[in-house]
Amino acid sequence: MKTIEWIGDSAGHLRLLDQTALPLETKFIDCETTKDLFDAIRRLSVRGAPAIGVSAAYGVLLGLRDIAEGDRKSFDTTFFEVSDYLAESRPTAVNLFWALDRLKKLVKHESELSPLQMRERLLKEAIAIDTEDQEMCAAMGRFGAELIPEGAGVLTHCNTGSLATAGDGTALSVIFAAHEQGKNIHVYADETRPLLQGARLTAWELMQRNVPSTLICDSMAAWVMKQGKVQVIITGSDRIASNGDAANKIGTYGLSVLAKAHGIPFYVAAPSSTFDFEIESGEEIPIEQRDSKEITIGFGKQTAPDGMKTYNPAFDVAPAENITALITERGVIQPVTKQNIAALLNRES
Ligand code: MRU
């Protein structure tokens, strides 16, 4: 079952597995316009940093379906408008901007192509982004599984699997690889308040793959660690700054602090498309603020008095000094320093 699928030629459409309906229903949404995709990203029908990037790469084509007959100048104008519009859908995951920037560079570079040829070239690039993401997931799984001890209890947060990427996932790819190697692991999945990506999505993926696992409320993580049930913590990330500070689903910062307090290694698995070399530290990462209703009327049931004020940041930042290692498709970065990151990912530090 594919989370993201482009149907047809360069004038085709985008089919998404609607993640808001899981785990009760498996249904698909057909996005015919960029607005369809914009809304799907906003309401988290498609979510997870790499999956947002891949779907946006395809999604640009939705805004170019009628333009292929016109001149190249108006094609480019529409392309940049569509890209800028999709870039507004969610602010934290840098993979969105990374994918759109990659297409923008291509459009600037391939100025000789006709509108139709350019549209076909963009589809080819979106497919490449999709395929590369699948390969990066597999490579993270291979590198990361080596860090998981035999018989380990592995705690994870949010959803980082095949729903959140084009492949097997980031942190969950590592978990799946360790499980497939017969390491006898047991996963503790945080439910991940307020939108329950852990309970609805990670639990579903773990059960689909028969990985022994237990769902816990976020507030139980500290006690589960204290009881010695967790030997490794592994999460994904939505944006990693040059110094290794890593933004991820709200609650990740707390887990990184708890990991230190309990002497448990804390790993972050992320592809190179999640690194933002434009920023020095996590302080510069924009944190998405979401609707208060997600806290007060989650899933249709009111759980707070009318008029209660809320604060609902969707992400937080685990500081580099709390992260034992970063697992990327190119290898493991340990210790997490600006120099080590730059060296592995071939960037100037
Ligand atoms: O708000 P979401 O569900 O898009 O948040 C997703 C996460 O925080 C993931 O952990 C993250 O994207 C990294 S791994 C795919």
Query: What pLDDT shows up at residue 349?
Result: 61
Burial 155-188 (b: 16+ CB within 10 A, else e): bbbbbbbbbbbbbbbbbbbbbbbbbeeebebbbb
Query: What pLDDT shows up at residue 347?
Result: 79
Rounded Cα gap, residues 250 and 289, in angstroms: 11
Residues 36-84 have pLDDT tens digits of 999 999 999 999 999 999 999 999 999 999 886 789 999 999 999 999 9
CB 326 within 8 A of CB 332: yes
What structural domains and CATH numbers belong to the chain? 4-137 (1.20.120.420), 141-344 (3.40.50.10470)
Distance (Å) of CA 128 to CA 57, 58, 124, 223: 10, 11, 6, 44
Query: What pLDDT shows up at residue 66?
Result: 87
Residues 121-133 have pLDDT tens digits of 999 999 999 999 9
CB 213 within 8 A of CB 310: no
- What lies within 8 Å, CB to CB, of 261 at 6+ separation is none
* Mean model confidence pLDDT for the chain: 97
Positions in the chain short of pLDDT 70: 68, 348-349
Quick one: which of 206, 177, 174 has its CA closest to 189? Answer: 206
Distance 172 CA to ligand 1 centre (A): 12
Q: Which residue, by CA, sits nearest to atom 10 of ligand 1?
A: 236
Query: What pLDDT shows up at residue 67?
Result: 80
192 lines ligand 1 (CB under 6 A): no
Query: What pLDDT shows up at residue 197?
Result: 98
237 lines ligand 1 (CB under 6 A): yes
Ligand 1 atom closest to Cα of 288?
1
Distance 205 CA to ligand 1 centre (A): 15
44 — alpha (psi -120 to 50), left (phi > 0) or beta? left
Residue with structure tokens 């808001």? 20
**Probe residue for ligand 1, chosen from 18, 249, 256 as the CB with the greatest number of ligand atoms within 8 Å:** 249
Distance 164 CA to ligand 1 centre (A): 7
3-state secondary structure of 92: coil
Query: What pLDDT shows up at residue 255?
Result: 98
Find the catalytic residue in 190, 218, 238, 316.
238
> Could you confirm whether 238 is annotated as catalytic?
yes
Query: What pLDDT shows up at residue 269?
Result: 99
47 lines ligand 1 (CB under 6 A): yes
Rounded Cα gap, residues 160 and 235, in angstroms: 7
Rounded Cα gap, residues 329 and 144, in angstroms: 9
